[in-house]
Amino acid sequence: MEVPVPKERWTGSIGEMELGGSEEKGGSRSPLRLGGNRGLPFLSFEDPERRTVALAGFVADSLEDVPGPVRKAFGEAVNDPVSWAKDWTARGADLICLHLTSTNPEEGDASPESAADTVMAVLKAVRAPLIVYGSGHEEKDAKVMERVGERARGERLLLGHAEEGGYKSVAAAAMANGHSVIGFSNLDINLAKQIVILLTDFGVGRKDVVLDPLMAALGMGLEYSYSVNERIRTSALAGDSVLQVPIICDCTSAWKARESTDDVPHAGDTLERGIWWEGTTALAALLSGADILVLGHPGSMDIARKAVDGLRGDA
Amino acid sequence: MPTAIEIFKHLPKKNCGDCKYPTCLAFAMQLANNKAKLDDCPHLSEAGRNALARSSAPPIRLVKVGAGGDAVEMGDETELYRHDKRFFHPTAFALRISDDLSDRDADARVEHARSLRYERVGQTLKMDLLELECRSGSPEKFLRFVTRVAAACDWPLVLRCSDPAAMSAAAEAVKERRPLLHPADGEDLEAMAGVAKACGCPLVLADAELGKLADLVERTRKAGVEDLVLDPRPDNLKELLERCTIIRRSAIRKTFRGLGYPIYVSVPAGKDGMLMASTAVMKYGSLLAFEELPASNALPLMVLRQNIYTDPQVPIQVKPDLYPINNPGPDSPLLFTTNFSLTYFTVMSDLEKSKVPVWLQVVDTEGLSVLTAYSAGKLTAESVKAALDASGAKESARTGTLVIPGMVARMSVKLKEATGLEIIVGPKESSALPKFLRS
Ligand code: B12
Ligand code: SF4
């Protein structure tokens, strides 16, 4: 019997973008191409072209917020962002996601210059493109991003993150030096649109924006994120041009969900469970529309890689 | 439901009014809006009734496995995306046990299945069925095995056996339990359908090609079996995602009856299996039969299922009230939290761990967590005061103080004004409460 091919009639597609600057463009790495999707994730009957999903390894320049199991997995390397980043690329990360938490005025208060030194050292040590975050302290981040942006000119970093309340400094740091920006919004499709509009009105190109709709972890609101991502992606495919940008999902929040590693009767080895907690969060992100995943544990990265290969039909 | 015009075509067109509506067309319009029942027209022809019953059937058939209270219902889904309304019947999980195991090993697997049980945010997460597989090739052995396990465990069952004779004997023995039979594929279709019909059991049809699967559906229905489940036999994640999506979409979007049934997925052991299972939970799987399910995988998978199948409009909540924990008295401290289930149960379990007697006031925030509720204006000095007044908390807890979540320290001044209580700012994370309360 003939089965009707139930293709959704999408009219839109996700914009293409590049991360990482090639030598031609003043950088030193081979760029990663993202986006271009014309259908829902991994449905080859809807969108036959094969797409990139990039997996980023989490690195921080201070250990304040780093979950224990993640530290352990990398051993000594976590004390030095350069070795940590190298370790990630050896384990197959496509990207490095570097958090400059040492700049937080309430903790290390490292200077913008020394933060920029760290970024340059990592750029020198690995060929993978870089995502760079500050410490989440608004005023300090403005200075840090400005300096990082200047020093890494041409490398086409992805700078995190711009929020409705304070997006101008990050956006300016990106625009002045050819980097791209993460627009963050809080689990809401309208807020997601809002931040893209604010950024583009400010002058950031649509091809320079990646959306972070906040990936809530398994058991910590995953159901909201799954549906918000899905709504953002279906609206984009249905023609809402504002939302036609790649999506980034940070899955490291999984380690903050206590059930991931607490002792629970009959719930098995805590490390193994924690890894799956992050891995399952990653899979939910992938199926709901993520183009970039940020992962903390190498075991979860292996799971995410297996998922991507399997869903693309490579495994 | 079909449109009023489509329904009207099948009505007697007598306009007699016996249905309590003046005309057949008026009756058709009520039917289309689900405001009348087909049976209200006493003059409907048999052919008309059948045609209407078929076209108004849900796009995905509801299939029940098991009998009695813990029977598993699957199918009857109406959405492709959960945000459009919700997903209704959570993916059922079965652990496979085969008849080549020793009695002891088989019992251990039943025990393992039972042990995968967790209380979470006020709900119980657990396995739903056992799948009993014939690997021995011996009908006698399979029959003995099925009878033995069925006597030891009253869960709903799947019988997995490709030999119709062996299946027939086993299904006959446990037919009051309404087991799901797996598989009927091309060759033995009629024989298996015969067993399902004779025992009144639902049946899984299996084929990797969806067109052939739809053919099997047609043949089986002709043989008189309607309660069907589809096994699209995926070998990898891509096949799983695509086949399940095509089945669900063609049923929902095209009302294609040939594939309008729940989906069964056999889950292999290992990482691949766990990824397939998680994908199937999100993408339309109705029943997963696990070759293995280690404890460390079970909890994440069951939480995923719980997350995906909650109603997007209604967070899981608890009743706003004053809760006594560890037998408090008038001198015990008073604390508050929100009525979001996750928040309440997290805080409650930390308080129980502390062994310190306390009163916990749960404030109605429409099921939002502390910070979310605060940001949304649902957790305010006024709403806290109202909750304390409604429950009479100040009469039960007489210390004149209130411990508040560290995340909302900002509320202190207003709260003091509103309630007249001394405010003590507690820790940000409730995991620090035991230490905090003891000092
Ligand atoms: C899931 C989620 C949502 C869901 C709602 C989930 C729900 N039912 O509550 C949705 C998508 C609806 C949502 C919406 C919003 N959200 Co929201 N959301 C989250 C998220 C991801 C998880 C929240 C959660 O479940 N936490 C788990 C529970 C258990 O935590 P909790 O209730 O705080 O309880 C802990 C502590 O407070 C403490 N505790 C609790 N009670 C007590 C009692 C005492 C006595 C003590 C001592 C301690 C204590 O212990 C608990 C365990 O540690 C967080 C980010 C994050 N990862 O935390 C953002 C977050 C809470 N949301 C935020 C915001 C701003 C919003 C919105 C206002 C944004 C918007 N879209 O407009 C809306 C408002 C809602 C509305 N208008 O209806 C912000 C809050 C910012 C701030 N610092 O105030 C957060 C922090 C995200 C962020 N980083 O920006 N959100
Ligand atoms: S009872 Fe039947 S035939 Fe009579 S008016 Fe109603 S629908 Fe028409």
* Ligand 2 in reach of B37 Cβ (< 6 A): no
Q: In the structure, which protein residues have their CB atom closer than 6 angstroms to any atom of ligand 1?
A: A 186-188, 191, 216, 220-221, 224, 253; B 315, 335, 337-338, 340, 342-343, 346-347, 367-372, 374-376, 403-407, 426-427, 429-430, 433
Beta strands in chain A (DSSP E): 17-19, 32-34, 54-60, 95-99, 130-133, 158-162, 180-184, 209-212, 248-250, 292-295
Ligand located closest to B29 CA = 2
At B193-249, the pLDDT tens digits run 999 999 999 999 999 999 999 999 999 999 999 999 999 999 999 999 999 999 999
Q: What is the mean pLDDT of residues B335-348?
A: 94
List of chain B residues whose C-beta atoms are within 8 Å of the C-beta of residue A305 = none
Average pLDDT, chain A: 95
The pLDDT mean for chain B works out to 94
Dig out the tokens for B339 from the structure. 């009525």
In the sheet with A54-60, reading across from the earlier edge strand, the strands are A209-212, A180-184, A158-162, A130-133, A95-99, A54-60, A292-295, A248-250
Query: Would the CB atoms of B299 and A226 count as touching at under 8 Å?
Result: no
Encoding tokens for residue B186? 């091309």
Q: Which of B81, B120, B278 sits opposite A280 (nearest CB)?
A: B278
Instruction: Name the pLDDT band for B3 (thresholds 50, 70, 90).
Output: confident
pLDDT of amino acid A1: 83
- Write the residue in A45, A222, A258 that is nearest to B242 by C-beta: A45
Give me the residues paired with residue A96 across strands.
A57, A130
Bridge partner residues of B94 (DSSP):
B129, B289
Find the farthest-apart pair of alpha carbons in chain A and give their distance in angstroms, rounded: 68
Topology (CATH level 3) of domain B4-56: 3-methyladenine DNA Glycosylase II; Chain A, domain 3 (1.10.15)
Q: Measured between beta carbons, which residues in chain A are less than 8 angstroms from residue B245? A: 6, 43
Closest residue in A to B114 (Cα) is A266
CATH architecture of B63-308: Alpha-Beta Barrel (3.20)
Residue with tokens 């918000």: A228
pLDDT, position B234: 97
CB contact under 8 A, A315 and B301: no
- Ligand 2 atom index nearest CA of B14: 3
For residue B323, how far is its CA from the centre of ligand 1 (angstroms)?
A: 22
| Domains of chain B, residue spans | 4-56, 63-308, 322-438
Burial of B121 (0-12, 13-18, 19+ CB in 10 A): buried
Task: Inspect the interface and report whether the beta carbons of A42 and B241 lie closer than 8 Å.
Answer: yes
Is the beta carbon of B15 within 6 A of some atom in ligand 2? yes
Identify the helix (H) or strand (E) that includes residue B425.
strand B422-425
Domains of chain A: 41-312 (3.20.20.20)
Inspect the interface and report whether the beta carbons of B242 and A230 lie closer than 8 Å.
no
Task: Check whether B139 has a pLDDT greater than 80.
Answer: yes
* CATH annotation of B322-438: 3.40.50.11600
Cα B166 to its chain centre, rounded Å, is 32
Other Cβ atoms within 10 Å of B194 Cβ, number? 17
Confidence class of residue B55 from pLDDT cuts 50, 70 and 90? Answer: confident
Global pTM?
0.92
What spatial distance separates the first Cα and last Cα of chain B, rounded to whole Å?
64
Q: Which of A227, A279, A280 sits opposite B83 (nearest CB)?
A: A227
Atom of ligand 1 nearest to the CA of B374: 84
Estimate to the nearest angstrom the gap between the alpha carbon of B261 and the chain centroid: 16
Q: What is the ipTM of this complex?
A: 0.95
What are the E-state strand segments in A42-152?
54-60, 95-99, 130-133
pLDDT band at B1 (very low <50, low <70, confident <90, very high): low
The Cα B157–Cα B236 span in angstroms is 26
- Residue B18 tokens read as 């016996």
What pLDDT, in 10s, does the model give residues B86-100?
999 999 999 999 999
